[in-house]
Structure formats: structure tokens, C-alpha cells
């Protein structure tokens, strides 16, 4: 299939007073799996609908490949969409559901078919081959004769995907297509979708509010808030180098701990003061810092007992009080209080902990993040 890139250039969408998408510039490479992620109301669905042509752009430009599509109708954009509420035609068998769009596009009216019966037959044959090929790819060949009501949720979802794939679009648009499935089926379908997208190599723009889904599916992910793009990068980049406090706390579970602490100078080095304990900052952090900073530490980078990796650069021990323990199987999410600050640590279940206990913890200083308290942007 032909892959084309997509570009949003300073795109604005207003609904009356509401700015749903605010100066969005985002370049999506041909064949890329781009996930738009953010909390409810952040503008991700609107961005997708603008790309689909279902909403009109207020300002800015959208390109599919080299073609500016602002004024191109949805049906001429060469895209295929799969939405959360994919509607299959209830009276049509699976085969016809998949073939319908192709027939509509490639076969003209009945009069033309009568007068061009040879050509029409060849087209029908080609459509039949495509439908069967895609059905095989999605393992729904045995369901082709069934009606939608005779399918499970997961099977219906595959039919909806098949219907999109069979059209061989330049771009797939997907808006929470897995959210109607139960957790197990969702995990399974997600993995299949990722494999399928890699195999087909079609540029895909996928919308979800679920950061875990974004991390597992995306080649890159674009994090949005209040209509504004916060950061775009690979899942690794967004997780390890969040651009600001919002991204840091939105991506990753449990969320990153953020604490406001004073900065102190120690010899030529900067440190932050957490209660009685001074945390020296590693050399890769800037030496000139505001008097107070926000530090960010992921629950996975707080260690107790001997659960720290041997090569980690650990802080001096801090004494924490265990407030609540949430068992997660091989690890516990432990809510702690350290000098009046509340923290969540993810600690190996091998380390014995009890509510109310004083627990010495160490932070992995290499994974400490710094943010400006005014702008909340990362300090690098
Ligand atoms: P969700 O995950 O809840 O679908 P979202 O991130 O996809 O949220 P959008 O649906 O894009 O968010 O909405 C962005 C903002 O634009 C919201 O404040 C929403 O209320 C507003 N909005 C969206 N569509 C319209 C519309 N047709 N008319 C007026 N306001 C709208």
C-alpha cells in the first residue's frame, strides 16, 4: 500500500469561544504509527476529525503527502476510519460489509454494469480477491457468511478493521477503536493491531486517552492538553525525558512524584534539600538553578531494602513513614510520607513493609527530573 505522511501546520479549531485545537504543528512520517493521547477534552478527537475532513479548520493547513487537504471532501482524502462505535451494516453479511465500500467506489450504477458487463465482472472478481485476502489476514475467513449480530465484540472489531484495510487508504484514522472490548481482548487486539500496522506500513493516526495504550502502540506519541501539543516523541523519550510536569505525571503509572524543594549549593555542586537530607544532583544537571525547584521521581526509582539495581546512583537514605500499601503481585505500591511530602514508591514484594512503619528509602538520583516551579517546564 502507498504510505503518505501527514502534516498539521499551525492548525487552530474553534467552536465558538472554545479553542479545541490550538496552533497544532505535527509532522507524521509515512508509515508511522502516531498516537494522539491526552485527557478528556484535550482536543485529540477534534484533531483527528479535522484530518478526516469531518470538521473545518479555523486556521492553518493540513497536508496528506504533498497535498493540502483543507478544502478536500472527506471521501476524496483517501483515508479510512475506525471509530469506537464502528457501525457495521446489520442486515449485511460480513463479506458484504467488507466489500460494500469497494463496490460503491469501483462499480458504477446498474446501467453501466449492464452495458459493461465484462469490465464489471473483472472488477467484482478483483474485489472478491481483496476481501478474501484481508479476511485471511485478520483470521475472519470462517465468519464471512455471518451477520454482525452473530459475532462477538472482538470479531465485529476485526470486521470493522477489515473494512478499513480493504480500501487500501493512504492513512488510517482510529479513534479509541478498542474501547468497547473487555480488558483481555483489548490487550490481544492491540498486539494484533500493532503487528498488522507494521506489516501494512500504512500511516496511522490513533487517538486514545489511555497512556498505556499509547506507549505500547505508538512509533511516536503526541501528548495533548487543553488543545495544545505538549510533547511529541518516541514512548521512550516521552517517558524518560518528559518536557514538563503535565507529561511527567500523565505518562507512567503510578504517576511521577513531584515535590517542591529548595536548592542549595555545596562546593561547586548543586543539591536539593529534602527535609534533613541533602540530595546531590548528578553532573548532568545544570549548575545554575532557581532557589526552589520541582523535583520529579518515578515510583519505580524509589528503593527500599536491597531492591535497587546494583549500578544505580542512590541518594543517602531518607526515613519515610508507610501510610498505605497497595499490593500489585510481585511489587507493592507504597504510599509514603517523607518530611511532610507524600510519595508513592513501587517496591519489590520481597521487601517486607507494614503500614505505620518507618522505612528507609533511597532515590535513584540519575533518574531525578527537575522542573521550573513557575513554568513547570523541564530544566535540562
Ligand atoms: P474525549 O476523550 O472526551 O473525546 P478529546 O480530547 O477527544 O476528548 P475533543 O472531543 O476533541 O476532546 O474536544 C475538545 C474540546 O472541544 C472540548 O472542550 C469539547 O467540549 C469541545 N468540542 C468538541 N466538539 C465540539 C463541538 N462540535 N461543538 C462545541 N464544542 C466542541
- Stated pTM of the model: 0.91
Q: Both 218 and 74 in a single domain?
A: yes
> What confidence score (pLDDT) does residue 250 get?
97
Least confident span in 96-110, 229-243, 327-341: 96-110
Q: Both 219 and 361 in a single domain?
A: no
Last residue of a domain, one of 249, 272, 303: 249
DSSP assignment string, 32-99: -EEEEE-STTSSHHHHHHHHHTSS--SEEEEEETTEE-TTS-GGGS-EEEEETT----TTS-HHHHHH
Whose grid coordinates read 521487601?
351
> What confidence score (pLDDT) does residue 25 get?
98
Cα angle vertex 68, ends 226, 43, to 5°?
Answer: 15
376 assigned to some structural domain: no
Q: Both 128 and 260 in a single domain?
A: no
379 assigned to some structural domain: no
Q: How far is the CA of 41 from the centre of ligand 1 (A)?
A: 5
Ligand 1 atom closest to Cα of residue 38: 6
Contacts of 173 (CB under 8 A, 6+ apart): 48, 51, 52, 79, 80, 81, 82, 204, 205, 206
Residue 64: strand pairing partners? 6, 67
pLDDT digits (tens, 9 = 90+) for 13-28: 999 999 999 999 999 9
Q: How many domains does the chain have?
A: 2
3-state secondary structure 182-228: CHHHHHHHHHHHHHHHHHHCCEEEEEECCHHHHHHHCCEEEEEECCE
Which 8-state DSSP code applies to residue 151? S
Q: Both 355 and 267 in a single domain?
A: yes
Q: How far is the CA of 9 from the centre of ligand 1 (A)?
A: 20
pLDDT digits (tens, 9 = 90+) for 371-380: 999 999 999 8
Ligand 1 atom closest to Cα of residue 207: 7
Which of 12, 13, 14, 20 should be mutated for ligand 1, with most atoms under 8 A from CB? 20
Question: Which whole-number Å values give the CA distances from 363 to 269, 280, 289, 342, in the listed order?
Answer: 18, 11, 20, 14
As a whole number of angstroms, the distance between CA 84 and CA 309 comes to: 42
> What confidence score (pLDDT) does residue 323 get?
97
pLDDT digits (tens, 9 = 90+) for 134-187: 898 888 999 999 999 999 888 888 899 899 888 889 999 999 988 877 888 888
The residue range of the domain holding 112 is: 6-249
Q: Both 228 and 284 in a single domain?
A: no
Q: Which three cell numbers stand for residue 150?
A: 452473530
pLDDT digits (tens, 9 = 90+) for 265-282: 877 788 999 988 999 998
Tell me the chain's radius of gyration from C-alpha atoms. Answer: 26
Ligand 1 atom closest to Cα of residue 21: 14
Which of 12, 14, 15, 36 should be mutated for ligand 1, with most atoms under 8 A from CB? 15
Pocket (CB within 6 angstroms of ligand 1) = 15, 18, 20, 38, 40-46, 209
Q: Using the predicted structure, report yes or no on whether residue 118 has a pLDDT greater than 90.
A: no
Residue 225: strand pairing partners? 228
Give the CATH number, domain containing residue 360: 2.40.50.140
- In the sheet with 341-348, reading across from the earlier edge strand, the strands are 302-304, 358-363, 318-327, 331-338, 341-348
> What confidence score (pLDDT) does residue 1 get?
53
Ligand 1, atom 10, residue with closest C-alpha? 45
117 assigned to some structural domain: yes
Last residue of a domain, one of 249, 267, 291: 249
Q: How far is the CA of 19 from the centre of ligand 1 (A)?
A: 9
> What confidence score (pLDDT) does residue 36 get?
98
> What confidence score (pLDDT) does residue 70 get?
97
Last residue of a domain, one of 229, 249, 269: 249
Which 8-state DSSP code applies to residue 316? P
Q: How far is the CA of 141 from the centre of ligand 1 (A)?
A: 38
Contact 232, 226 (CB under 8 A): no
Q: How far is the CA of 201 from the centre of ligand 1 (A)?
A: 30
Amino acid at each position: 500500500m502507498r504510505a503518505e505522511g501527514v502534516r498539521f501546520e499551525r492548525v487552530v479549531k474553534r467552536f465558538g469561544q472554545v479553542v479545541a485545537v490550538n496552533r497544532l504543528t505535527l509532522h507524521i512520517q509515512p508509515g508511522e504509527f502516531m498516537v494522539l493521547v491526552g485527557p478528556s477534552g484535550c482536543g485529540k478527537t477534534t484533531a483527528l476529525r479535522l484530518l478526516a475532513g469531518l470538521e473545518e479548520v479555523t486556521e492553518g493547513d493540513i497536508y496528506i503527502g504533498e497535498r493540502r487537504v483543507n478544502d478536500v471532501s472527506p471521501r476524496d482524502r483517501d483515508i479510512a476510519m475506525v471509530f469506537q462505535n464502528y457501525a457495521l451494516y446489520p442486515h449485511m453479511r460480513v463479506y458484504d460489509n467488507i466489500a460494500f465500500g469497494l463496490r460503491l467506489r469501483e462499480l458504477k450504477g446498474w446501467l453501466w454494469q449492464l452495458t459493461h458487463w465484462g469490465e464489471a465482472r473483472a472488477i467484482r472478481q478483483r474485489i472478491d480477491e481483496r476481501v478474501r485476502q484481508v479476511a485471511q489476514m485478520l483470521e475472519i475467513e470462517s465468519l464471512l457468511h455471518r451477520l454482525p449480530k452473530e459475532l462477538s465484540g472482538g470479531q465485529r472489531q476485526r470486521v470493522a478493521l477489515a473494512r478499513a484495510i480493504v480500501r487500501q487508504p493512504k492513512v488510517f484514522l482510529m479513534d479509541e477503536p478498542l474501547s468497547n472490548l473487555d480488558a483481555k481482548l483489548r490487550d490481544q487486539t492491540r498486539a494484533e493491531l500493532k503487528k498488522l500496522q507494521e506489516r501494512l506500513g500504512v500511516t496511522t493516526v490513533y487517538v486514545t486517552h489511555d497512556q498505556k495504550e499509547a506507549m505500547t502502540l505508538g512509533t511516536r506519541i503526541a501528548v495533548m492538553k487543553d488543545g495544545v501539543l505538549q510533547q511529541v516523541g518516541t514512548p521512550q523519550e516521552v517517558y524518560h525525558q518528559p518536557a514538563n510536569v503535565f507529561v511527567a505525571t500523565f505518562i507512567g503509572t503510578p504517576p511521577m512524584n513531584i515535590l517542591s524543594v529548595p536548592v542549595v549549593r555545596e562546593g561547586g555542586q548543586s543539591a536539593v534539600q529534602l527535609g534533613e537530607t541533602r540530595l546531590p544532583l548528578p553532573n548532568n544537571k545544570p549548575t545554575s538553578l532557581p532557589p526552589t525547584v520541582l523535583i520529579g521521581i518515578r515510583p519505580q526509582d524509589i528503593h527500599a531494602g536491597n531492591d535497587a539495581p546494583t549500578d544505580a546512583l542512590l541518594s543517602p537514605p531518607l526515613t519515610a513513614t508507610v501510610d498505605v500499601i497497595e499490593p500489585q503481585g510481585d511489587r507493592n505500591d507504597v504510599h509514603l510520607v517523607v518530611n511532610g511530602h507524600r510519595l508513592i514508591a513501587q517496591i519489590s514484594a520481597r521487601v517486607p513493609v507494614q503500614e505505620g512503619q518507618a522505612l528507609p528509602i533511597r532515590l535513584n538520583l540519575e533518574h531525578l527530573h527537575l522542573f521550573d516551579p513557575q513554568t513547570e517546564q523541564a530544566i535540562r
